[in-house]
Amino acid sequence: MTQEPVVLDGHSLSIDGLLKIANGAHVQLDEAQLVKVRKAADFLAEQVKKEEPIYGVTTGFGSNANRLLGAHHARKENDTGKTLTEELQDNLITTHAVCVGEPFAPEVVRAMMGIRINTLMRGHSGIRERTLRALVDMHNSGIVPVIPQLGSVGASGDLAPLSHLAIVLLGGGEAFVDGKRVNGAKALEMKGLTPVTLSYKEGLALNNGTAQMLATGILSLDRLEDIANTADIAAAMTLEAFAGRTGAFAEEVHALRPHPGQVETAKHIRQLIEGSELCDIPYQLVPRFADWMPDSWDDAQRHLTFDIRWDWIPSTQRHGREKFYTRFKPFLGGKKHQPQDSYSLRCIPQVHGAVRDALAQARRVLEIELNSLTDNPIVFPDADKQHVEDKVISAGHFHGMPLALAMSYVKAAIPVLASISERRLNKLVDSNTSDGLPAFLIGNEDATESGHMIVQYTAAAIVNDLASRSHPASVYSIPTSANAEDHVSMGANEARHVLSMADDLGKVIALELYVAAQALDVRKKMIQAAIDFATSGDATKLASKIALGKPDTTSETYGEFLKEVEALRDELASMKDIKASPAIEAAHAKIREYIPYMDRDRALDQEVAKAIELEKNGAILSAVKKAVIG
């Protein structure tokens, strides 16, 4: 279905609107706003006739700003047939298109075009309507300029990459058209368009701005906001697999430290685990894993690949804790008798929430930039001023530092979210920290299986890589243009790094989901086995699952022991099928559509790839939204 065109007026472009443009929606110019565009272009032409010195119009650029253009070429053999003002703009584009590396993805380039058109619609750039419409036609016809990724220092804006974009308008450079990579002239010809001859300041208007860093920043933000939500799902599934404690997510708790992201994350986790039969389950109902033995189960449960165990706590070891053991049965299984979980579970709101706050700050900055003028000089045709330098003002709106620092904040947040996810994954596979789950989430009765052990290695490698890449580019300025541009933002590198890092963050979250789904299955199977065992037998049979503390059958305390085992049996037998919350069951079901439970070692590479795909395409997130919202 064809999307409605996005109307651009320089003032009202939203992030959602830009994402539509990035995904191929056409753009349309607001007719009322075009009046201002024409007025600024006419004003510049009038000033040139007055032979006024105007930066980048009748002077050179950067370190050449002190050189005024003459009436004709100093040497006749240099004559190109263009006026010096036309040649100045043309040369600006053709000599600045020097980026290197792999081309940006089409959605990045389309977003850059949308941003550039929108800022030019503010009516302070001096571009002619015909040139602006040529840029619109190029986008709407499906021409995607080839823009290599490396070359912008983020001031004066994204000069080099935007020159790669603009050079196609002149019939130069390269572009993708209908899946083919062709030269710029051919690209225009294939779509029935003709090259543009640039007029006063139009080269500057086209290449002097923050479009690359803004486009990559917005696309990365869109991806990261989805990843943040999916990270909450992964965390909630892990919490369910641990039969975790929910007090740390209570609304009244976070009202006392109301960082917005923290409050939002806690609320999201509460929604995700609502209806859980695992979270806050009494300690004694969670058995711990024990190695399978030939006599572990009777025929009805012989298919299980594990055994279960509890420890009994004799009355002689309950001094000072009698009230606790009145409320909870004196058996210790997989869940420790403590009211708190480890930081990677208990501090989900504080850590995930801080990442959300970083994204929110970036969104605030990017939304301002999206409808800002970012080229130079700025044309004020209506200014009540006497001198042209007061109406065509050289300023620094091309400087990308507002975006660079916002992206630095996000860049630092990415490995933080990846790291806490990997720590939860590690807890799940480590039998020393998994609250009674088997090592590497596999039965391994013959000691030949690795289960999910190496998945954690992959997550650890990615986290380290993300941490290594998180150094802020914005702290290191390298002057350019013979020191005329003596402080630059490096914001283009910053945003480009964030865009590439986002996908790797998504991989870590996908790995947690992959492992948590296995852990959730194992936990439910173990508890269900305990329920089935208790339902089908008497206290003496259940007593066989007590590993430590069980008194000798001839001792005086054996009767006390059996009485308490009977109470445990009754409590287990009163339970039905144990389930996670509806939201987490929906996420788990979506994973199990493609990846089956693993009861024996098998090749995991394609399963890992599928888990990553399910995170990236939003299938898990969509399944959970449907379960929560309906």
Residue 178 CB neighbours (<10 A): 11
Q: How far does CA 3 lie from the centroid of its chain?
A: 25
Looking at the predicted structure, is the pLDDT value of residue 128 above 90? yes
* Cα-based torsion angle of the residue sequence 187, 193, 199, 205 in order, rounded to the nearest 10 degrees: -60
Q: Which amino acid is at 116?
A: R
Q: Is the pLDDT of residue 12 over 70?
A: yes
Structure tokens belonging to residue 197: 């001859």
What does the alpha-carbon distance between residue 295 and residue 542 come to, in Å, rounded to a whole number? Answer: 14
Q: Cβ contacts of residue 71 below 8 Å, gap of 6+?
A: 84
**CATH number for the domain running over 221-361+406-477+486-629:** 1.20.200.10
Residues 44-72 have pLDDT tens digits of: 888 888 777 888 788 877 777 778 777 67
pLDDT in tens, 199-239: 999 999 999 999 999 999 999 999 999 999 999 999 999 99
Spatial CB neighbours of 236, under 8 Å, sequence gap ≥ 6: 269, 272, 273, 581, 583, 584
Q: What pLDDT shows up at residue 259? A: 98
Q: Which residues contact 83 (CB under 8 A, 6 or more apart)?
A: none
DSSP structure string for 191-207: TT--PPPP-TTHHHHHH
CA angle (578, 582, 586) in 5-degree steps: 105
CA distances from 316 to 320, 381, 540, 552 (A): 11, 91, 22, 15
Provide the 10 A C-beta neighbour count for residue 88.
Answer: 23
pTM, entire model: 0.95
**Is it true that 6-70+77-209 and 221-361+406-477+486-629 share their CATH fold?**
no
Distance CA 524, CA 530 (A): 10
- Pseudo-torsion of CA 97, 101, 105, 106, nearest 10°? 30
Report which residue type is found at 494.
E
Q: Where are the domains of the chain?
A: 6-70+77-209, 221-361+406-477+486-629
| Catalytic sites, residue numbers | 55
What local confidence, expressed as pLDDT, does residue 230 receive? 98
Q: What is the DSSP letter of 442?
A: S
Type of residue found at 580: A
Q: What is the pLDDT of residues 130-160, one digit of tens each?
A: 999 999 999 999 999 999 999 999 988 899 9
| 616 CB-near residues (< 8 Å, 6+ apart) | 503, 506, 510
Please give the Cα distance from 202 to 184 (Å, whole number): 18
Share of the chain above pLDDT 70, in %: 98
- How far from chain centre, in Å, is Cα 60? 42
- CATH code for 6-70+77-209? 1.10.275.10
93 in Cβ contact with 173 (< 8 Å): no
Token pair recorded at residue 265: 């994350």
Q: How many CB atoms lie within 10 A of CB 598?
A: 18
